[in-house]
Chains A and B, each alone.
Chain A
Amino acid sequence: MGKLTLDNIQFIETYLKNSGINFVDVRMEMTDHIASSIETEIEKGDHRDFYYIFKDFMAVNKKSLLKSYDKYYRLIDLKILKRIFKKALSLNGILILFTCFFSIMLLQGLMFKEDFFKLIKNLPLAVFTIIAVIYFFAIRRKSEKYSSLERIGSNLMFIYYFSYFLFHRFDNIELINFNVYSIIIPSVILIWLNVIILIFAFEMKKKYELMYRENVNA
């Protein structure tokens, strides 16, 4: 049977990587598709060298493959948002929300108003910074870019900009005198979302490791 060798598979992978298919999970699926097509051609009786069959296949199908990759970008963001939303509204998600809220309310009761104002104004960005450090150093892999893990970063950036613009308004302590919840509620929501995204990122990392890395090493 005309099964491709490990060298052939690696050649396809490298070709796709050089063509801009950066996500490991997407590249893996495309590699399998191309390899299966070439194997079918060999089984049908094409006795030419692998490289000639590969070249002919790519000449016809490269545009279509790259088109599917472009569409994947939009889909992966949608998929991530749906899962984060689902996680946020799960029992654990709601528990995290209440924990964030009551912790901040407790701090408010324990601290002087001015100190609490300073804290609450900077807390979402501080939490974001900690989570971003964990994401970049413990979750994301620079050498192996998995689609969901990479795109989670864009969600984190959105929260960062939102936190920055929202809390930049709160320069005047009179605001907190006017209505303390106007700063507590957005703060709690942003911290909650940060924590949910971090938990989701860890889960995705574990899933990818189970799905891909263990299979690669098998």
Chain B
Amino acid sequence: MRNQKLYKGSLNTIILKFLGENTKMYGYEITQKVKQITEGELNITEGALYPALHKLEADGLLDVEVLKVDNRLRKYYKLTEKGTKETVNKLSELESYLKTMQAFINPNFSLE
């Protein structure tokens, strides 16, 4: 496992990106998707994921829906209109950040 702190600042962007690609997702599904895509490199703990989801909800970027699934209630998160706009901004910020970092690490490399 690499340094998790490096990923911490991008957690909201990761969540928003996933929700932008899927109509709705629940907490556990997000952790599994992250694990699958990063091949286990990034492991989002419950202690980090749920506060992030609740904060995004409080900021009006996410909406929730509760459905009964397999004998229990499941809380699904989906992007609001504001959330969809914010996803575009966050991804653009992240892309710009990556370019800057890349320039530091390897000045001859270009993402384009």
A binding-site residues for B, Cβ under 8 Å: 3-6, 9, 25, 28-33, 35-37, 39-40, 61, 63-65, 67-68, 71-72, 75-76, 78-79, 82, 211-212, 215-216, 218
Contacts of A82 in B (CB 8 A): 58, 60
Q: Are B71 and A33 in contact, with the CB atoms below 8 A?
A: no
Question: In the complex, are the beta carbons of B32 and A64 less than 8 A apart?
Answer: no
Contacts of B50 in A (CB 8 A): 29, 68, 71-72
B residues near A9, Cβ cutoff 8 Å: 71-72
- CB neighbours (8 Å) of A211 from chain B are 64-66
* Interface flags, B70-85, vs A, CB<8A=1, else 0: 1111110000000000
**Who on chain A is nearest to B28 by CB?**
A36
Do most interface residues of chain A lie in helix, strand or loop, or is the interface mixed?
A: helix
A211–B89 Cα distance when bound, in Å, is 31
Alpha-carbon distance between A79 and B61 when the two chains are bound, in angstroms: 12
Tell whether, in the assembled complex, residue B47 and residue A65 are in contact, meaning their CB atoms are under 8 Å apart: yes
Measured between beta carbons, the chain A residues less than 8 angstroms from B58 are 75-76, 78-79, 82
**How many pairs, one residue from A and one from B, have CB atoms within 8 Å of each other in the complex?**
86
User: Closest CB-CB distance, A113 to chain B, in whole Å?
Assistant: 46
Q: Which 4 A-B pairs have the closest CB atoms?
A: A79-B58, A64-B47, A67-B47, A71-B51
Residues of B within 8 A of A215 (CB): 66-68, 73
A32 touches B75 (CB 8 A): yes
Which of B26, B29, B47 is the one whose CB lies under 8 Å from A68? B47
Q: How far is the CA of A25 from the CA of B74 in the complex (A)?
A: 10
User: B20: CB under 8 A from chain A?
Assistant: no
A212 to B75, CA, bound (A): 10
Determine if A212 and B66 form an interchain contact, defined as CB atoms under 8 angstroms apart: yes
Nearest CB in chain A to that of B57: its residue: A79
**What are 20 inter-chain pairs, A to B, with CB distance below 8 A?**
A3-B70, A4-B72, A25-B75, A28-B66, A32-B74, A35-B70, A36-B26, A61-B46, A63-B47, A65-B47, A68-B48, A68-B49, A68-B51, A72-B50, A75-B51, A82-B58, A82-B60, A211-B65, A215-B68, A218-B68
Besides A9-B72, A37-B28, A211-B66, 12 other CB < 8 A contacts? A4-B70, A29-B50, A32-B69, A32-B74, A33-B28, A61-B45, A63-B47, A67-B47, A68-B50, A71-B50, A82-B60, A215-B68
